[in-house]
Chain A
Amino acid sequence: MSTATTSHPPSVSRRTFLRVSSAAAGGLLVSLYLDWPTIAQQPATPKVYPPDAFVHVRPDGKIVVQVNRLEFGQGVQTALPMLLADEMDADWLQVIAELAPAGDVYRDPVYGIQMVGGSGSIAHSFEQYRQLGARTRAMLIAAAAAQWKVTPTQCRAESSVVYGPNGQSARYAELAEAAAHLPVPENIQLKKESDLRLTNKEVRRLDSGAKCNGSQKFGLDVDLPGMKVALVAHPPVFGAKVKGFDANAARAISGVQEVFEIPLVRGTGVAIVADRFWAAKQARDRLRAEWDTASVERPDTAQLFAKYRELARTPGNVAVSRANANAMDSISPANRILAEYEFPYLAHTPMEPLNTTVRFDGDRAEVWGGSQFQTVDRMAIAEVLGLKPEQVTFHTEMAGGGFGRRATPDSHVQREAATVAKRLRGIPVKLIWTREDDVQGGYYRPMHVHRVEVGIGGDGMPAAWRHVIVGQSILAGTPFAPMMVKNGVDSTAVEGTADTKYNIPNFHISAHHPAINVPVLWWRSVGHTHNAFVMETLIDELARRAKADPIAYRLKLLSPDAKKLRNCLALLQGKTASWRSLPRNHAVGIACHESFETGVACAVEVSIEDKRPRIHRATITVDPGFAVNPLTIASQMQGGVTFGITQVMSRGAITLKDGRVEQRNWDGYTPPYMKDAPVIAQVHIVPSSEKPSGCGEPPVPVISPAVVNALSRLTGKRYRTLPLTEI
Chain B
Amino acid sequence: MMCSYERKIGFALGGQIVSPVKVGLLTIILISVASLVGAGARNQEGTRTGPRPSRAEGLAAWQQIYSVMSHPRCINCHTADGYPQQTDDRHRHLFNVVRGPEGKGVAALQCATCHQSSNADSTGVPGVPDWHLAPLSMRWQDANDKVLPSSAVCRTVTDRTKNGGLDGAALVKHHQTELVKWAWQPGLRNDGTARSIPPISYEQFIAATRNWTQARMPCPQ
A residues sitting closer than 8 Å to B (CB atoms) are 233, 236, 284-291, 293, 667, 670, 673, 675
Contacts and interface: CB of A to CB of B under 8 A. Distances in A.
A287 B95 CA distance: 30
Interface string B1-25: 1111111000000000000000000
Contacts of A284: 5
Nearest to A290: B2
B94 A287 contact: no
A288 B96 contact: no
B6 A675 contact: no
Contacts of A667: 94-95
A286 B94 contact: no
Contact of B5 (A289, A293, A670): A289
Contacts of B4: 236
Given A673-B96, A675-B96, A285 B7 contact: yes
Contacts of B2: 288-290
Interface of B: 1-7, 94-96, 192
A158 to B, nearest CB: 46
Contact of A291 (B1, B95, B192): B1
Q: Is the interface of A mostly helix, strand, loop or mixed?
A: mixed
Nearest to B92: A610
A428 to B, nearest CB: 25
A680 B4 CA distance: 43
Q: Name which of B3, B94, B96, B192 has the most chain A CB atoms within 10 A of its CB.
A: B3
Given A233-B5, A289-B3, 17 more contacts: A236-B3, A285-B5, A285-B7, A286-B5, A286-B6, A287-B5, A288-B2, A288-B6, A289-B2, A289-B5, A290-B1, A291-B1, A291-B3, A293-B1, A667-B94, A670-B94, A673-B96
Contacts of B192: 285
Nearest to A293: B1
B28 to A, nearest CB: 27
Contacts of B7: 285-286
23 contacts: A233-B5, A236-B3, A236-B4, A284-B5, A285-B6, A285-B7, A286-B5, A286-B6, A288-B2, A288-B5, A288-B6, A289-B2, A289-B3, A289-B5, A290-B1, A290-B2, A291-B1, A293-B1, A667-B94, A670-B94, A673-B95, A673-B96, A675-B96
B96 A290 contact: no
Contacts of A236: 3-4
A673 B2 CA distance: 36
A180 B10 CA distance: 71
Query: Which of B1, B2, B4, B94 has most A Cβ within 10 Å?
Result: B4
Nearest to A243: B1
A287 B6 contact: yes
- Which interface residue of A285, A288, A289, A670 has the most chain B CB atoms within 10 A? A285
A678 B200 CA distance: 48
A231 to B, nearest CB: 10
Contacts of B95: 667, 673
B2 to A, nearest CB: 6
Nearest to B83: A610
A286 B8 CA distance: 9
A667 B125 CA distance: 14
Contacts of B3: 236, 289-291
B116 to A, nearest CB: 17
Q: Which 4 A-B pairs have the closest CB atoms?
A: A285-B7, A287-B5, A233-B5, A288-B6
A234 to B, nearest CB: 9
Contacts of B94: 667, 670
A291 B2 CA distance: 7
Contacts of A291: 1, 3
Contacts of A673: 95-96
Nearest to B192: A285
Contacts of A675: 96
A291 B96 CA distance: 37
B182 to A, nearest CB: 22
B38 to A, nearest CB: 42
Nearest to A673: B96
A354 B3 CA distance: 23
B87 to A, nearest CB: 10
Contacts of B1: 290-291, 293
B54 to A, nearest CB: 47
Contacts of A288: 2, 5-6
B98 to A, nearest CB: 10
A293 B192 CA distance: 24
A670 B94 CA distance: 9
B126 to A, nearest CB: 15
Contacts of A285: 5-7, 192
Contacts of B6: 285-289
A673 B4 CA distance: 29
Contacts of A670: 94
A290 B4 CA distance: 10
A288 B8 CA distance: 11
B171 to A, nearest CB: 34
Contacts of B96: 673, 675
Nearest to A667: B94
Contacts of B5: 233, 284-289
